[in-house]
Structure 1
Amino acid sequence: MTGARDLLEPAARRLEAAGVASPRHDAETLLAYLLGLPRSRVGLGGPDLTPDQERRFDSLITRRAAREPLQHLTGSAPFRYLEILVGPGVFIPRPETEVVAGWAIDVLAELAHESEEPPVAVDLCTGSGAVAASIAGEVPGVRVYAVELDPAAHAWAERNLALTTVTLVRGDAATAFPELDGTVDVVVANPPYIPLEAYESVEREVRDHDPALALWSGTDGLDAIRMVERSASRLLRPGGHVVVEHADVQGESAPAVFTGTGRWERVRDHLDLAGRNRFVTARRVER
């Protein structure tokens, strides 16, 4: 049998040679997944592997070196306080989106504290359901609605939201939940925002494995954000809030989608934890 430490270094070198951005981290994560141990344990050495475990680890490293997403290999992705089930057919939730969800959660928690009525949130383009699940789990009493158009992604959302109070539907975010028009407190969305012309610059893990419907959004990357602006203006009550994730290069163009309509006030752009422009917020004008 071979010790875990003896396998990690050559595995990390293979991943580095294949262009994987975090080779040591990914090698440790895959070994920990295989052995059912915390990553910190295998990083310190870990137990010896049986020949069968060695073969399975080699297979995982080979797949990761071919740029199959790490989360597809382990079957889940961490998001705030949750482990979200993911795999082929659904966009993998990213750490950047945790900040977007956090902004919505803070607003909803304040509303829940101030009012006897439960706040209402709608998650457009829910994908895996990560944002909706986090809101439902972190804001007591909140009513959460989520919509996803893609059938494969919707199936993943069903799994992740099965034990929550979230109302999930399969449908078009542009027309979803007409029964809620004018009553929603917060609309949150992580829509597609990559311009079609940026195809070659996108990481292989994303370009080859995340669903196209979750990535591309017209020639300037703003088509879906424009749709979210229209849907949010329909759904929100006067004074309600919208929060929308965007690409780091859209720190001016994404807010402009909102400022140009006359339907919004307090339009602000926000940074993620890496200091990059990441999401826009706005308040529905009170009339």
Structure 2
Amino acid sequence: MQTVPLAPTLARAVRRLTEAGVSSPRFDAEELAAFVLGVPRSRLLLADGFDRDRAARFDELVGERARRVPLQHLTGVAGFRHLELAVGPGVFVPRPETELLAGWGIAEASRLNGPVVVDLCSGSGAIALAIANECPAATVYGVEREEMALAWARRNAESRAAAGDRPVTLVHGDATAPDVLAALDGTVDVVVTNPPYVPDGSTVSPEVADHDPAAALWGGPDGLDVVRRLLTRAAALLKPGGVIGIEHADVQGESLPALVRRHAAFEDAVDHRDLADRPRYTTARRRKLAG
């Protein structure tokens, strides 16, 4: 069977994606080629090329990516720490920078004996499932309001449980509501959250604007409307001395820690930077009871 050579086909795809304004054209072209060929990207250069059907499929996917459909929607998966998560329309695609918040949560939970961890605004379940994967002693809960996102999280949770990870309990509800996980009030060791925090009116990429669910993005005029309500819920959930980690936009490196410091329930608020040295998430500790 005649094959379509890999190198020139990839080169054309990279040019097409570059012209379309895709931020990582070579990576995305190689990921799509590896997906079509059914090989890891690390072994792509060992492939002989495409047959005609796969070449046509690759061209179709490159066209979709050039129209700024997210890469993860085209392949159906998003890598997150040691996991591959199923994603698609209706759920926020987990970002690499969120791995840092997950790593913080894992480190905090791993210091404890049988910790209880709650992931508020869980989305695809990325943070909750990463903690369950890397800290098997933890009892982990995730809360998600949007039904489509919750369906993706449940799919991912079932997959990870089948792979041997400790099951994560997923709850359908508003993460800011006082009755959500109310039975856990005062018993939780670690709360993590990647909430909607984009300030209204911000410019975002077409992948985000057109494909990420609005409910996972917009956080009011300063981006902190949801966070304000989450702090109250987290304060009730956490035991004295328990900790919270909150992801935020890089423009909130001062405003979000200041918000946490003004909340009477929290102390020791510290902001953390990502690998590009941008403000990325804030952590704090639940105050211990007086006396």
TM-score normalised by length of structure 2:
0.94
- Once the two structures are TM-superposed, the CA of residue 228 in structure 1 deviates from its matched residue by 1.6
Q: Deviations over 1:29-65 (max 9, x none)?
A: 00000001121222x3622211111110100000000
Would you say 1:278 and 2:280 are equivalent positions?
yes
Q: Deviations over 1:251-271 (max 9, x none)?
A: 000111111122111100001
Give the Cα separation in 1 of the matches to 2:94 and 2:273. 18
Residue in structure 2 matched with residue 140 of structure 1 by the alignment:
136
Q: SS of the counterpart of 1:89?
A: coil
Give the Cα separation in 2 of the matches to 1:7 and 1:80. 30
Give the Cα separation in 1 of the matches to 2:200 and 2:252. 15
Give the partner amino acid of 2:186: G
Give the Cα separation in 2 of the matches to 1:2 and 1:167. 47
Residue in structure 2 matched with residue 41 of structure 1 by the alignment:
43
Q: Percent identity?
A: 54
Give the partner amino acid of 2:8: D
Q: Deviations over 1:201-229 (max 9, x none)?
A: 10000110000000001111001111221
From 165, 180, 185, the counterpart of 1:181: 185
Give the Cα separation in 2 of the matches to 1:238 and 1:188. 16
Asked if structure 2 preserves the Cα contact closer than 8 Å seen for 1:229 and 1:257, the reply is no
From 95, 103, 125, the counterpart of 1:129: 125
Give the partner amino acid of 2:175: A
Matches within 5 A, 1:80-229: 80-112=81-113, 118-162=114-158, 163=161, 164-175=166-177, 176-198=180-202, 201-229=203-231
Give the Cα separation in 2 of the matches to 1:184 and 1:217. 25
Q: SS of the counterpart of 1:174?
A: coil
Give the Cα separation in 2 of the matches to 1:173 and 1:91. 16
From 217, 230, 233, the counterpart of 1:231: 233
Q: SS of the counterpart of 2:84?
A: strand
Would you say 1:257 and 2:259 are equivalent positions?
yes
Give the Cα separation in 1 of the matches to 2:43 and 2:242. 46
Give the partner amino acid of 2:123: G
CA RMSD of aligned residues (A): 0.9
Q: SS of the counterpart of 1:243?
A: strand
**How many residues of Structure 1 are paired with residues of Structure 2 in the alignment?**
279
Structure 2: gaps (5+ residues) = none
Give the Cα separation in 2 of the matches to 1:67 and 1:29. 15
Q: SS of the counterpart of 1:95?
A: coil
Q: SS of the counterpart of 1:196?
A: coil
Give the partner amino acid of 1:6: P
Would you say 1:12 and 2:8 are equivalent positions?
no
Q: Could you list the runs of 4 or more consecutive aligned residues of structure 1 that deviate by over 4 angstroms after TM superposition? A: none
Asked if structure 2 preserves the Cα contact closer than 8 Å seen for 1:3 and 1:46, the reply is no
Give the Cα separation in 2 of the matches to 1:45 and 1:250. 45
Give the Cα separation in 2 of the matches to 1:143 and 1:28. 38
TM-score normalised by length of structure 1:
0.95
Structure 1: gaps (5+ residues) = 113-117
Give the partner amino acid of 1:186: V
Give the partner amino acid of 2:185: D
